[in-house]
Amino acid sequence: MIRKNIPVFALLAFGLAGVFHAAHAAAGEFAVKSTAIPEMKAVFGQVQSRTVVPARARRGGTVRQVDVTEGSEVRQGQIIATVVDEKIALELDAAEARIQELLSQLANARTELERAEQLFARGVVSQGRVDQARTQFDVATNQLAAAEANKAVIEQQAREGEVLAPATGRVLTVPVTPGSVVLPGETIARIATGQYYLRLSLPERHAAQIREGSTVRLGQRGLRGSAMVETELEGRIAKVYPEIADGRVIADVEVAELGDYFVNERTLVWIPVGSRDVLSVPPEAVTTRHGIDYVSLLTADGPIEIAVILGERFVHADAERIEILSGLRAGDKVLLP
CATH at 237: 2.40.30.170
Residue 15 has pLDDT above 70, yes or no: no
228/2 Cα distance (integer angstroms)? 64
Residue 74's pLDDT band (cuts 50, 70, 90): very high
For residue 14, tell me if it sits in a domain.
no
Share of the chain above pLDDT 70, in %: 88
For residue 1, tell me if it sits in a domain.
no
Residue type at position 89? A
Contacts 24+ apart (CB under 8 A), 94-99: 95/147, 95/150, 95/151, 95/154, 96/151, 98/147, 98/150, 99/144, 99/147, 99/148, 99/151
Highest mean predicted confidence (pLDDT) among 3-7, 9-13, 16-20, 34-38: 34-38
pLDDT mean over 201-227: 77
pLDDT mean over 163-190: 92
Domain boundary among 223, 249, 273: 273
Q: Residue 96 maps to which CATH number?
A: 1.10.287
Q: Are residues 214 and 265 in the same domain?
A: yes
Q: Are residues 249 and 289 in the same domain?
A: no
For residue 297, tell me if it sits in a domain.
yes
Question: CA angle at residue 249 from 243 to 254, to 5 degrees?
Answer: 105
Pairing relation of β-strands 292-299 and 248-255? Answer: unpaired
Q: Residue 70 maps to which CATH number?
A: 2.40.50.100
Structure confidence at residue 20 (pLDDT): 39
How does pLDDT run across 244-296, given as a tens digit for each residue?
Answer: 888 899 999 998 877 767 888 888 888 888 788 999 999 999 999 999 999 99
Q: Are residues 148 and 96 in the same domain?
A: yes
Q: Is the pTM of this model over 0.85?
A: no
- The residues pairing with 46 across neighbouring beta strands, listed in sequence order, are 199, 266
For residue 306, tell me if it sits in a domain.
yes
Q: Are residues 171 and 200 in the same domain?
A: no
Q: Which domain holds residue 126?
A: 86-159
Structure confidence at residue 289 (pLDDT): 92
For residue 200, tell me if it sits in a domain.
yes
Q: Using alpha carbons, select from 194, 192, 206 the residue that is nearest to residue 269.
A: 206
For residue 103, tell me if it sits in a domain.
yes
Q: Are residues 183 and 203 in the same domain?
A: no
- From residue 234, give the alpha-carbon distance in Å to each of 220, 231, 237: 11, 8, 10
For residue 111, tell me if it sits in a domain.
yes
- The residues pairing with 312 across neighbouring beta strands, listed in sequence order, are none
Q: Are residues 229 and 267 in the same domain?
A: yes
Instruction: Give the max Cα distance, the chain.
Output: 165
Q: Are residues 75 and 172 in the same domain?
A: yes
pLDDT mean over 41-61: 89
Domain boundary among 115, 140, 159: 159
How does pLDDT run across 95-119, given as a tens digit for each residue?
Answer: 999 999 999 999 999 999 998 888 8
Structure confidence at residue 97 (pLDDT): 93
Tell me if residue 159 falls in helix, strand or coil: helix
For residue 331, tell me if it sits in a domain.
yes
Alpha carbons within 13 angstroms on the beta-carbon side of residue 261 total 25
Q: Are residues 243 and 254 in the same domain?
A: yes
* Residues sharing a CB contact under 8 Å with residue 14, sequence separation 6 or more, in sequence order: none
Q: Are residues 201 and 258 in the same domain?
A: yes
Residue 67 has pLDDT above 90, yes or no: yes
Structure confidence at residue 319 (pLDDT): 87
Q: Are residues 175 and 186 in the same domain?
A: yes
Structural domains in the chain (count) = 4
The rounded mean pLDDT for the chain is: 84
Q: Are residues 146 and 106 in the same domain?
A: yes
Q: Are residues 245 and 184 in the same domain?
A: no
Residue type at position 254? E
Scored b (16 or more CB within 10 A) or e, 238-251 reads eebeeeeeeeebbb
Structure confidence at residue 258 (pLDDT): 77
pLDDT mean over 138-142: 93
For 278, the enclosing helix (H) or strand (E) is: strand 266-281
Residue 7 has pLDDT above 50, yes or no: no
Domain boundary among 225, 245, 273: 273
Q: Residue 303 maps to which CATH number?
A: 2.40.420.20
- Beta carbons of 61 and 163 less than 8 angstroms apart: no
Residue 27's pLDDT band (cuts 50, 70, 90): low
CA Rg, the chain, in Å? 42
